[in-house]
């Protein structure tokens, strides 16, 4: 979208460039898209020994991953009990647990791979104009 900057490209201390894919390549896993999800999947699959190729039409973080505000949140904009009502208790509790653990995973990966990204843990503030809106 015109006028929307890419946070990753605007603030990155290092740039990354990879040559275009030429010819054929056989891999265990081909991932389309070098945003948060694609790169995380590639990192975790490669860590398990898979031969991985990440294919990106533009540049790393070109889409939504580079256009977000850089926040790491632990949850949804729904209270945990609402998630359980929608998904059922077992699936809802599992999703709530995974979401609660996600920020720790993100910050652990930043530390493990020595990623220079000014990561800070500041907590999350949820505001509303009325209790019902929470």
Q: Residue 96's pLDDT is what?
A: 96
**What tens digit of pLDDT does each residue of 67-110 get?**
777 788 888 888 899 999 999 999 999 999 999 999 999 999 99
Distance CA 95, CA 30 (A): 26
Express the helix, strand and coil content of the chain in percent, nearest 5 each: 40, 5, 50
Supply the pTM of this predicted model.
0.74
Does 40 score more than 70 pLDDT? yes
- How is the chain split into domains, by residue range? 1-70, 71-134
- The distance between the two most distant Cα atoms of the chain, rounded to a whole number of Å, is 59
Average pLDDT of the chain is: 87
Distance CA 88, CA 93 (A): 8
């Amino acid at each position: 979208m015109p006028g929307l900057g890419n946070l990753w490209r605007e603030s990155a201390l290092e740039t990354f460039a990879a040559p275009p894919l030429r010819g054929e390549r056989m891999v265990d896993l081909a991932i389309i898209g070098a945003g948060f999800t694609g790169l995380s999947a590639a990192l975790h699959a490669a860590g398990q020994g898979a031969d991985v190729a990440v294919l990106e039409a533009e540049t790393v973080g070109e889409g939504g991953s580079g256009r977000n505000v850089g926040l790491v949140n632990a949850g949804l904009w729904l209270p945990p009990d609402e998630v359980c009502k929608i998904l059922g208790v077992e699936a809802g509790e599992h999703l709530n647990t995974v979401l609660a653990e996600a920020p720790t995973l993100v910050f652990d990966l930043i530390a493990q791979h020595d990623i220079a990204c000014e990561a800070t843990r500041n907590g999350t503030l949820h505001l509303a104009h009325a209790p019902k809106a929470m």
